[in-house]
């Protein structure tokens, strides 16, 4: 089977150092395996989108030498695929309409479990739709972080797959698109490790394959917090890509290649040294 990896940014800001690390880590993994590297723009949530950032990210990646093997997939154009997955879950009795608000759930311990709503059905308001989560332990092996086990009923309960404003959740869209793009290994930041069990459960409910997973250490700021686009982390500069690319490679534990004068030379040397087994195994660290 051909290895297929992907980078799947959300357009909530320009490419910053943390997302560059995820992009480089997934690119190196795909190229090392002799496989393909695909892009997916996760633009399904207009309330979080920053105008111009999708185009900005897509323009920045080639400046860092990261060229994808196919045109990017835009989640904003995938509504009918999410509708079909949703109908499949609803038809199988696995999804249910829910009018419970966060504050109502907070009074009841904060979590929705066993399909038990605290709020009554309200025909005047559209519902959110949740996936019913049974008492099941999801076991998986993360290629970098080791064996994982999550009891989904305890940790997240019945989770939202379609919001009351009609937007599909990241979890549903991600699972449908990883399958559609034929992804064999998901390489992404450690902050998404705790989404993985939900995604594996959704794959099982939908009869979709489960890819391998490798969660890279997160880039933390000096106070130990995640650098994220929505916190307006300083974007990397595509006009001067070498310093950030060197730093991203160093963050991933690769020796600084001497002598490379452009991004392609730098990536080629990094690829020659790359061994996924030698990636740093922590959940996050700050930049040296
Ligand atoms: N769109 C997500 C983000 O930018 C990443 C999703 C994924 O890699 O599964 O955080």
Do both 126 and 268 map to the same domain?
A: no
| Euclidean distance between CA atoms 130 and 133, whole angstroms | 9
CB of 5 sitting under 6 A from ligand 1: no
CB of 174 sitting under 6 A from ligand 1: yes
**CA 107 – ligand 1 centroid, Å:** 31
CB of 284 sitting under 6 A from ligand 1: no
Which position has the token pair 């919001």? Answer: 163
Instruction: Give the bridge partners for 150, in sequence order.
Output: 138
Nearest ligand 1 atom to the CA of 191 is 10
Are the C-beta atoms of residues 140 and 210 closer than 8 Å to each other?
A: yes
- Kindly report, residue by residue over 49-66, the tens digit of the pLDDT: 999 999 999 999 999 999
**CA 43 – ligand 1 centroid, Å:** 10
| Euclidean distance between CA atoms 26 and 242, whole angstroms | 18
Do both 154 and 182 map to the same domain?
A: no
Read out DSSP for 33-98?
TT-EEEEEE----TTTPPTTHHHHHHHHHHHTT---SSPPEEGGG-HHHHHHHHHHHHHTT-EEEE
Residues 6+ apart with CB under 8 A from 54: 11, 41, 43, 74
The residue among 99, 134, 162 that closes a domain is: 162
Say if residue 230's pLDDT is above 60: no
CB of 188 sitting under 6 A from ligand 1: yes
- Which range of residues forms the domain containing residue 279? 4-77+177-286
Which residue's CA is the closest to the ligand 1 atom numbered 6? 8
- Kindly report, residue by residue over 20-60, the tens digit of the pLDDT: 999 999 999 999 999 999 999 999 999 999 999 999 999 99
Do both 211 and 245 map to the same domain?
A: yes
Q: How confident is the model at residue 255 (pLDDT cuts 50, 70, 90)?
A: confident
- 274: domain CATH number is 3.40.50.620
| Euclidean distance between CA atoms 33 and 27, whole angstroms | 10
Q: In this predicted structure, what is the pLDDT of residue 234?
A: 78
Say if residue 232's pLDDT is above 60: no
Among 5, 6, 10, the mutation site with the greatest number of ligand 1 atoms within 8 A of its Cβ is 10
Q: What is the pTM of this model?
A: 0.95
Domains held by the chain: number: 2
Q: Kindly state the average pLDDT of the residues 204-215.
A: 98
Instruction: Give the bridge partners for 212, in sequence order.
Output: 185
- Kindly report, residue by residue over 117-158, the tens digit of the pLDDT: 999 999 999 999 999 999 999 999 999 999 999 999 999 999
């Amino acid at each position: 089977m051909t290895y297929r990896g992907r980078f799947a940014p959300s357009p909530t800001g320009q490419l910053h150092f943390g997302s560059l690390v995820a992009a480089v880590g997934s690119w190196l993994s795909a190229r090392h395996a002799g496989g393909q590297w695909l892009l997916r723009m996760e633009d399904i949530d207009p309330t979080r989108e920053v105008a111009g950032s999708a185009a900005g990210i897509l323009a920045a990646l080639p400046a860092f030498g990261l060229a994808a093997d196919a045109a990017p997939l835009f989640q904003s154009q995938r509504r009918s695929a999410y509708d079909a997955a949703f109908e499949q879950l609803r038809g199988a009795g696995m999804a249910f309409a829910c009018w419970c608000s966060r504050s109502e759930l907070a009074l009841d311990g904060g979590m929705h479990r066993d399909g038990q709503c605290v709020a009554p059905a309200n025909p005047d308001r559209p519902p959110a739709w949740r996936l019913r989560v049974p008492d099941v332990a999801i076991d998986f092996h993360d290629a970098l972080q080791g064996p994982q086990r999550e009891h989904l009923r305890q940790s997240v309960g019945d989770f939202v797959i379609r919001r009351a404003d009609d937007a599909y959740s990241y979890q549903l869209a991600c699972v449908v698109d990883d399958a559609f793009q034929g992804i064999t290994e998901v390489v992404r930041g450690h902050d998404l490790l705790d989404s993985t069990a939900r995604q594996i459960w959704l794959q099982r409910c939908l009869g979709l394959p489960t890819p391998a997973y490798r969660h890279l250490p997160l880039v933390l700021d000096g106070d130990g917090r995640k650098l994220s686009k929505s916190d307006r982390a300083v974007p990397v500069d595509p006009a001067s890509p070498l310093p950030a690319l060197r730093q991203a490679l160093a963050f991933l534990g690769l020796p600084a290649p001497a002598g490379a004068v452009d991004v392609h030379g730098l990536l080629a040397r990094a690829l020659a040294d790359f061994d996924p087994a030698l990636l740093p195994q922590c959940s996050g660290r700050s930049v040296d």
